Amino acid sequence: MSFVEFNAGLLAISDQLSSNQLDDLKFLCRDIIGKKYVETTTSGRDLFRLLTERQKLGPDNTEFLSKLLEKINRPDLSERLNSFQDQSGSNDNQPDDTEKAKLDIATDVIQENLGKNWRKLGRKLGLKDIKLESISRRHPTDLEETAVELLKEWRKSRGADARTEDLIAALRACQLNMTADKVEDKLK
C-alpha cells in the first residue's frame, strides 16, 4: 500500500471519531506527542500526523494506534486500520516462501554480527542516506535492531527481487567476509 492510500485511510478514520473519542486518544498519547500538542490538536488528522512524526504510526506500523482505538471502544476503527496493514502485507511483490525463509535466516545472522558497519552495508544495498538517517533515529543505541530495520527496508525496496545472494555479495563488498561466511553456513 502506498503512503497516499494509507493517509486516505487515516483520514477516513479521523472523520469517524467523535470529539470525545479524539480527546480520549489525545489523553492516551499525551506522553508521546507532548502536553502542549494535546491542547492544540483539533482533529484525528493532526494527531495521526504527530504520531507519524514520532515513528509511532506508518503504513507498516499500525499496532500502536490500533491498540489505542480498542481502548476507546472503537474496535471497528481498529479493525479497519488493521485491514490496511493486511493489504500492505499481502502484496504480491514479495519473494517466494523459500527465498523469504532464506532472507529471514540471513537477517538473524546479520543482526547478531553486523555491528557499527550497518551504514556501509546499507549503502552497498542501495539505500539512500536519508533512509539510513531515519533508521538511525529510530534505533540510536541498539545496533541489532538497527540491522533488522536496515534489512527490512532493503527487502521492502527490492520487493520480489530481494535475494540472499545479493545480501551476501554486499557483505563481501563491505569486507564483512566472516558475516557472509556465517550466513552461507547457516543456509546450508
Per-residue pLDDT tens digits of the chain, which is 188 residues long: 567 888 888 999 999 999 999 999 999 999 999 888 899 999 999 999 999 888 898 887 888 999 999 999 998 888 888 776 555 544 456 778 889 899 999 999 999 999 898 999 999 999 888 888 888 887 788 888 899 889 988 988 888 889 999 999 999 999 999 999 999 999 98
For position 93, what pLDDT does the model report? 67
For position 167, what pLDDT does the model report? 93
For position 137, what pLDDT does the model report? 81
Task: Give ranges for CATH 1.10.533.10 in the chain.
Answer: 3-89, 97-187
Q: Which CATH superfamily does the domain covering 3-89 fall into?
A: Death Domain, Fas (1.10.533.10)
For position 1, what pLDDT does the model report? 54
Separation of first and last alpha carbons in the chain: 34
Q: Which CATH superfamily does the domain covering 97-187 fall into?
A: Death Domain, Fas (1.10.533.10)
For position 170, what pLDDT does the model report? 94
